Amino acid sequence: MIRALDRVRQHARIEGTALPWLGLPFALRDIGLTATPLPCLAGGAKAFRLKRKPDVGDWLATVRAVEAAARDGLERLHDLERFHRDAQRAIVAQFRPGALPRLLALAVHQPLLSPQAVANHLGLSVAGASKLLERAVTAELLVEITQRRSWRLFLPHDLAVEFGYAASKRGRPAKEPPALPASRALVDTFDTFDREMAEIDKLLSGIVQVPSASD
């Protein structure tokens, strides 16, 4: 961990800005602390670019900040997995899921959604995309964070709470429903949902260029 942080510190001293902090996920990957670069671990300390030799307090504060970021990232992963399981239940509960699996797959990769964006990605009319989003809201998978008829935005519930657009539930967290019973029909449905997620991933990767480690 210290070696990875020191690489970022040396780069920051040369660069003179906080931009090298974006390289910490790659430094952690390179020394084997993570399997892939994790964007949630980007960061550093002001002392890294202002002090020639950061003291023990600077290193300790930075390590604790990385730990806190890792814990937050793990919680976000749990929320994402919960959304996936809730999406499966919602799909099974629908008499005719229609384009709902594709919408929920899109929400995993692009959480902030608008009727126009959904229409563009899924090949629907704006009116059809609006109705589809309302179905997801009814299923308590998405939350509308705007109250405008002509310009509407939606987020998964956990992100809406995180950014202050929805109130968190008080009291003990609700117990998650039991896992759905295994059946051939459910397996086929979930396989279709996962394929939709993979197709959305390919579609978005062709639009947004993700910087490589060398960048």
- 44, 49, 58, 110 from 19: Cα distances, Å: 10, 10, 18, 25
Total of domains in the chain: 2
Residue 23: count other Cβ atoms within 10 Å of its Cβ.
21
86: pLDDT strictly greater than 70? yes
- Cβ burial, residue 73 (10 Å; 0-12/13-18/19+): middle
- Both 104 and 192 in a single domain? yes
Q: Which region among 7-11, 101-105, 127-131, 164-168 has the lowest average model confidence (pLDDT)?
A: 164-168
pLDDT of residue 169: 72
Q: Are residues 64 and 101 in the same domain?
A: no
Beta strands in 94-210 (DSSP E): 142-144, 154-156
Percent of the chain residues past pLDDT 70, beyond the cut:
83
CA dist., res. 158 & res. 164, Å (int): 10
Instruction: Say yes or no: 44 and 126 in one domain.
Output: no
My answer on whether 100 and 38 are in the same domain is no
Whether 213 is in a domain gets the answer: no
In a domain, 146, yes or no: yes
Q: Give the pair of three-digit tokens for residue 195.
A: 């394929």
Query: Which amino acid would we find at residue 196?
Result: E
Q: Assess whether 199 and 115 both reside in one domain.
A: yes
pLDDT at residue 41, as a whole number: 93
**Residues 51 and 101 reside in one and the same domain:** no
* Residues 105, 184 within the same domain: yes
Are 117 and 189 members of one domain?
A: yes
**Residue 215 in domain:** no
Residue 158 lies in a domain: yes
Q: Report how far residue 42's alpha carbon sits from residue 27's, in angstroms, rounded to the nearest whole number.
A: 10
| pLDDT above 60: residue 182 | no
46-60, 88-102, 188-202 — which one is most confidently predicted on average?
46-60
Residue 79 lies in a domain: no
What pLDDT sits at residue 210? 45
Q: Is the pLDDT of residue 212 over 50?
A: no
- Report whether pLDDT(213) > 50: no
pLDDT digit string (tens) for 88-143?
888 877 767 788 888 988 998 899 999 999 999 999 999 999 999 999 999 889 99
Q: DSSP letters of 166-192?
A: SPPPPSSPPPPPPPPPP-HHHHHHHHH
Residue 153's φ and ψ, nearest 5 degrees, are -130, 145
Q: Which amino acid is at 64?
A: R
pLDDT tier, 168 (very low <50, low <70, confident <90, very high otherwise): confident
* 118/184 same-domain check: yes
Last residue of a domain, one of 15, 40, 71: 71
Range of the domain at 48: 2-71
Residue entry with tokens 């993979």:
198
110 and 6, same structural domain? Answer: no
Would you say residue 82 lies in a domain? no
- The SS3 assignment for 59 reads helix
Average pLDDT, the chain: 83
The CATH number assigned to the domain holding 122 equals 1.10.10.10
Give the number of other Cβ atoms within 10 Å of residue 78's Cβ: 11
Are residue 189 and residue 122 in the same domain, yes or no?
Answer: yes
